[in-house]
Structure 1
Amino acid sequence: MAKNSNGLLCKLGIVKSPGAPVPHRKHTKDCATVDMPAPAKVTMVMQQHIGAPCAPTVKVGDEVFVGTVIGDSTAPFSAPIHSSVSGKVVKIDSILMQNGSKAQTVIIESDGQQTVDPSIKAPVINSDADLIKAVHDSGLVGLGGAGFPTHIKISPKPEVKAAIDHLLINAAECEPYLTPDVRQILEDSENVVEGMKLVAKLLDVKYAVIGIEDNKPEAIKLMTELLAQVKIDGITFKVETLPSRYPQGAEKVLIDQCTGRQVPPGKLPSDVGCVVMNVTSVAVLANYVKTGMPLTTKRLTVDGAGVNKPMNVRVPIGTSIKDVIEFCGGYKGAPAKVISGGPMMGMAMASDDFPILKQNNGILVFDREEADLSATTDCIRCGRCVNACPMNLMPTKLEAYTNLGRTDELQKLNIMNCMECGCCAFVCPANRRLVQSIRLGKGLVRNASN
């Protein structure tokens, strides 16, 4: 039996799988992606990844094209920003991010032509270093939500790389409503496979595995057939069918399910021999290697009872949420809540003027019934949140110590290990805002350590 094989034991029914049986609500799974025309303007945020923010490389009045670099940084832990439209830079401004910080923006007025930058061409790749540089130049970050710069992820130190034997492609897409990853597989399977091959060879792994939840049979069948045709000496390509139980797409849960390995607190996937990438990330990588077109668009699911035409749509990065909703037929009455992302880990938006970022994968518009605006009641100490937590934390205690501002206790209870999946809040009969409290608690711990 595999070491630390809790994932295997769950599959065998010996232990209860963590997480929560959230409803799937994949209403748009059969909706082919529709391309949205360029909006009148885009707002390009200079912080679209974990790490150092970019600084604008253009000024007001400059003409730009699709793919023009408009933001960059000399810091290694960063990724360049490219214009998603052709037109003119009309303003350099700032914006309040969802985490409360400020970021610079480059606002571009579109000319509607979508003229591609004449410098765009496929990169010349003759070595691993060439491929890593190409990934950096593409502006690629983790597209599943985290925004980790991809060139950093695929260039571990030699001693770390030597121990990596698994490349795991995350196509679980466990959040309710969201379907852009399954559409990526069904509509762009060639680039998914090519991207897997590129990274698997670069990292010299033994296994390249794509994990897909069992509620996506068409994607499982297609990828099984395609990967069976891939023949690279020393590398086994396969599909891992995952149970449809949230949060299978969480990095540490995916590793457990696919390999039986558990990532210790404070450690990274590479510490247990794994590199995890989102399925859309590898497809974008393959497309850049073939065409030289950087990351300028994002496929989103737009859904919820508050929007007239739920669909999957590919939009220029920097498009406002308002413009995306208008493309999808507009609001159906006054929305009770607009969420960027999925209902479990997404962020409720204060304004629909906020622009689409690289790592956005959905916009949900809820009416009052879907939004579930029920009042919070007292905790009844039922323990459901503890049973549901994939990281074996104690959400009620974390909430209590956050309210008291006791950072020492929060650290002892490993608050920073929380992945903010939302399982605790979902199963809570008292409707307590546990995830929000834990996020605040994390902020208290960070501030106390500065």
Structure 2
Amino acid sequence: MKGEILIKNVKLVDGRGLHGRADVLIGEGRILSLSGGEAQTEMDATGMILSPGFFDPHAHLREPGQEVKEDLQSGLTAAARGGYTDIVSMPNTTPVVDNAEIVAALKKKAAQIRQARLHPAAALTQGQEGKVLSEAHLLQAAGAVMLTDDGRTNEDAGVLAQGLLYAASWGLVVSVHAEDAGLRRNGVMNEGEVSFRLGLPGNTSYAESARIARDLEVVRYVRDRLANDVSAQSLLHIQHLSTKRGLELIRQAKQEGLPVTTEVGPHHLTLTDEALNGLNPIYKVAPPLRTQRDVEALIEGLLDGSIDCIGTDHAPHTQDEKELDLLRAPFGIPSLEVCWPLLYTELVEKRGFPLEVLVARFTDGPRRILGLPPLHLEEGAEASLVLWDPNTQRPVEPQTFASKARFSPWAGWALQGWPVCTWVEGRMVFGAMEGAGVG
């Protein structure tokens, strides 16, 4: 048996656990063997770890219409450099991704770029206006994997209910930005001690939990309407969870058996509203950075499975936009290229978080939400993989990002776990072997 690449002396970690060392032979887009063989290219990966490629269920790539912030080329390249083989793009673009033609065009262009694979999300409602539902079946046929009005909250519960019903009939999950607009108002940061001291308008944590509570009631209604005949793995996916109370509601719903899932972003696991003491808009995100109490709860939820996966909420903006004052600057930060090393360092290295659980939240969790089978390291499996270095430490340097957004709240943080190579179906889409000391 002769393959194309032989990755020698590498440790294997997937969502099932740690599997020791192997010599991984790749060919024809698949893992041919875990015990070596002949190959055109050999790579000594001693000290490195191989995992299934990461899957991001929530990123903003800004195309069409906002390419000054990001485009498919820069965004998918950034994803590959971050170890991601698959990425779900949000539809709040200009124009909104609410018809099959735009979905098909995005899929076609991404395939030509040949970096990370693109899975477009489409708008739940036309124009993301929350009034008239988009054509779920046409969007699904064109390649959409999710429906969402992300960037806006779904204020009409009846529209959301109908959207869930239609989406389920076509095997699509609906994801929501769970904030009550009336409670959120014009808040630019978490409402609490820090916002009071700074005199800034706050966004109460109850804006999130109040909307989650309502949306869970909508899911109960839809579940009863469907009589448990649900084709999608999850009916409702709650994006970028940020609060302890929101997590408690979701945990209770899951214990009840409701078909609901959720994600958490790297910023809500590593930063708090204290970062805004310096009035730096680089820390302005939506939902906002919360308290250390919330951070601790979210980490526990990630550990026990109440939180299904990591979603980067990669949200690039121009430097000029992000340098406006805190009231006027847009919400959002880029995170595709640092998410894995950040969480590996902050959770695994510093807190002893189980490595295999973190890998599962980057791989199996997002795939399960979309009704996709898990991707594990075994013979015959698709060779969509990331090789990463758990030992070498280097700082976050935003000026080197492939993303057009070259700023970061983690700039200068010394991290381990940086991706070294990424393969999509056996094809290398990112390789930095020399810099990582791989022969």
How high is the TM-score relative to the length of structure 2? 0.29
